[in-house]
Structure 1
Amino acid sequence: MKGYITVREAADKWGITPRQVQILCKANRIVGATRMSRIWIIPEDAKKPTNNRKKVKYCND
């Protein structure tokens, strides 16, 4: 389909695993991602979702 990429193509583009892309799609974190039967299709211009986890700094006093 024109204008869409596969999970594997998105994973290569963003530097993450295909499984992580599938997880992001299922969690609705990729805008415009749609499931067609058994595969996810992602818009070519979709941006990689940000990581909202916070880093914790430990201090040994």
Structure 2
Amino acid sequence: MFEYMTAQEAAEKWNVSLRWVQRLCKGNRIEGVMNINRVWLIPKNAEKPADARKKLMKN
């Protein structure tokens, strides 16, 4: 069985705002996320998605 963390816990773990985690969840940017009774549940082993606003420079 999977273990889940809340959006608030993910925000603290990834050092981002709660609102940003909620936007990532709503945009399906986090694998395995579920919304139960307006509470986002994120798998504890989920990786922080890359910020799509930033371009990665390749050498």
The TM-score range, normalised by the shorter chain, is 0.7 to 0.9
* Alpha-carbon distance in structure 2 between the residues aligned to 1:54 and 1:18: 20
* Alpha-carbon distance in structure 2 between the residues aligned to 1:23 and 1:51: 12
* Structure 1: gaps (5+ residues): 56-61
Q: Deviations over 1:4-44 (max 9, x none)?
A: 00000000000000000000000000000100011100000
Identity %: 50
Number of corresponding residues:
54
* Structure 2: gaps (5+ residues): none
* Alpha-carbon distance in structure 1 between the residues aligned to 2:45 and 2:4: 8
- The runs of at least 4 consecutive aligned structure 1 residues that moved more than 6 Å come to none
Aligned-residue CA RMSD in angstroms?
Answer: 1.4
